[in-house]
Amino acid sequence: MSAIYYITTPIYYVNDKPHIGHAYTSIAADVLARFKRMDGYEVLFTTGTDEHGQKIAKAAWEKNISPQAFCDEVSKSFQDLTPLLNLSNDIFIRTTQNHHQKAAQYLWQELQDKGHIYKGCYKGWYAVRDEAYYGADELIDGKAPTGADVEWIEEDSYFFNLSQWQQPLLDFYKQHPDFIKPQGRFNEVIKFVEGGLHDLSISRSTFKWGVPVPHDSDHVMYVWIDALVNYLSVLGYPHKDTVKTHWPHAIHMVGKDILRFHGVYWPAFLMAAGLTPPQRIMAHGWWTINGQKMSKSLKNTIDPVSFVKTHGVDALRYYLMREAPMGHDGNFSHETFIQRYNADLANDLGNLSQRVLSFVHKNACSHVPTPDVLTKEDHNLLHEAKKCLTLLRRYADQQAHSRMLEAIWRLISLSNKYVDEMAPWHLKKTDTQRMETVLYVLLDVLRMIGLYILPFMPQTATTLLNFLSVKEDERTFLKHPPLKPHTPLPAPVGLFPRIQSSL
Ligand code: MSP
């Protein structure tokens, strides 16, 4: 039986249309899902929309439509990201789905039956934009630390006994030193928990747009407890076997802004319900646009639909995965995009593939040539190509996407250097047998490069592997035999036309 790999994106709020920040989280998860599928794992990759709560109710009210109709419309624009960004998610969950609501109520009941929920009255600050409670000591100039407006609320509420979970959480963190990545973010979480935890208000009673609390229709669940349960309801929680097989392997890809919910509240809820916390929480950084925070009021958000239409999905996927090391913030600018596109895609990868494939097309009768005895240089390059996969596996387990790309681009640059040094255009005149060997080595390395870039740029990789006549069932990391001499090759075309920098 194959090993299980279960990866999730956060579920997106439907108060607004998707932007490049959402695309980033989903692409990062997709790359790992694709990589692990190619490496023989049984992968489950889930995403979806977070549709309840005051923020969504308010957005629907402002548009003068029912919350459900509003959610249906905006959720659709997130579902459309799957084909647009070439995401390979297996499930798209919506928290308004019946099975999810039942799962959330089941978990609530478990917590209540085990004595972790009590009724009280919440008096304190709340930021609707963040759907988060804040202590008075956390406010900065009367606002949430995120800059969101806060309002004072006083309402009947159910509480979760979070304060009791300080020590179990600290023990868990100690026993699982890789629970949260990067380490700096983990340290922040530990410090926050060491500072003491207050019980958490987990229901609202002043509006209705939420999952009803079991046996108390005056209350709806706090949207975060409802939302976090999505990671279980996609598995068929509570009754399906998938919960047993998949849950312990969960890897949550989240933005740094929602780490407290995932790194503190979620493991506490789970432990209280008798379940284990997820395996890993990877907290990524945030994207700014030309150095500024992305915001509706600044009208600087980048629409993934128009970006993909102009530049293609793979260029976007590559740029987002390469430009900012995972865990760090990134700055999106058209200048750096064009630089990366022209240097890495058009020049390094595009030129390598075009010069090798068109040379073979013209000088080796459009067939995979037959290699003669390999030299030290040939062995070295082939060895580097194979070794690259070991690095990719290691970095994939660290969710280190940009490192994976750096390793592939090192191989591309070694290959370009090999072309220059071997100069097949000279060999054509002096030693055709050696020329064939060099071309064979290059084609086989290109084949491995095609496999390695597949999780990042599925369209480009497919085109490249088609040019090399690689069979569909040989596009994996487990079974990928070298190219067979005499295999006919179709006529190649360029992968990435250069972008003029005036754009
Ligand atoms: N609904 C909650 C998540 C619940 S998960 C159980 C939520 N939704 S969100 O739509 O506001 O954000 C979803 C994800 O998008 C978060 O991981 C967030 O970090 C990410 N991003 C939103 N803006 C972003 C940037 N500007 N840059 C990078 N990621 C950003 O939070």
pLDDT at 197 over 50: yes
For 158-183, what is the mean pLDDT?
A: 98
Angle between helices 432-453 and 458-467 (to 10 degrees): 150
**Exposure of 246 in the CB half-sphere (CA atoms within 13 A):** 26
Q: Decide whether any atom of ligand 1 lies within 6 Å of the 278 Cβ.
A: no
Rounded CA gap, 337 and 287, in Å?
Answer: 13
Q: Decide whether any atom of ligand 1 lies within 6 Å of the 50 Cβ.
A: yes
Report pLDDT digits (tens) over 287-304.
999 888 887 777 888 899
Q: Decide whether any atom of ligand 1 lies within 6 Å of the 286 Cβ.
A: yes
The model's confidence at residue 499, banded by pLDDT at 50, 70 and 90, is: confident
| Helices within 81-177 (DSSP H only) | 81-84, 98-113, 166-175
For 415-438, what is the mean pLDDT?
A: 97
Nearest CA to ligand 1 atom 22: 21
Give 258 Cα–ligand 1 centroid separation in angstroms: 7
3-state secondary structure of 157: strand
For 356-377, what is the mean pLDDT?
A: 95
Give pLDDT, residue 1: 76
Residue of 452, 439, 437, 366 lying closest to 401 (CA atoms):
452
List the beta bridge partners of residue 169.
none
Q: What is the bridge-based pairing of β-strands 4-13 and 250-255?
A: parallel
Is pTM beyond 0.85 here? yes
Mean pLDDT of the chain: 96
The model's confidence at residue 339, banded by pLDDT at 50, 70 and 90, is: very high
3-state secondary structure of 100: helix
Give 13 Cα–ligand 1 centroid separation in angstroms: 8
pLDDT at 377 over 90: yes
Ligand 1 atom with the shortest distance to the CA of 254: 17
Nearest CA to ligand 1 atom 6: 228
For 330-338, what is the mean pLDDT?
A: 94
Q: Lowest mean pLDDT of 159-173, 263-277, 288-302, 471-485, name the range.
A: 288-302
pLDDT at 209 over 60: yes
Rounded CA gap, 345 and 497, in Å?
Answer: 9
Give 256 Cα–ligand 1 centroid separation in angstroms: 9
pLDDT at 503 over 70: no
> What percent of the chain is modeled with pLDDT above 70?
99
Whether 503 contacts 337, CB under 8 Å:
no
Give pLDDT, residue 188: 97
Give pLDDT, residue 298: 74
The model's confidence at residue 501, banded by pLDDT at 50, 70 and 90, is: low
Which residues, other chains included, contact 414 with Cβ-Cβ below 8 Å and sequence gap of 6+?
Answer: 381, 384
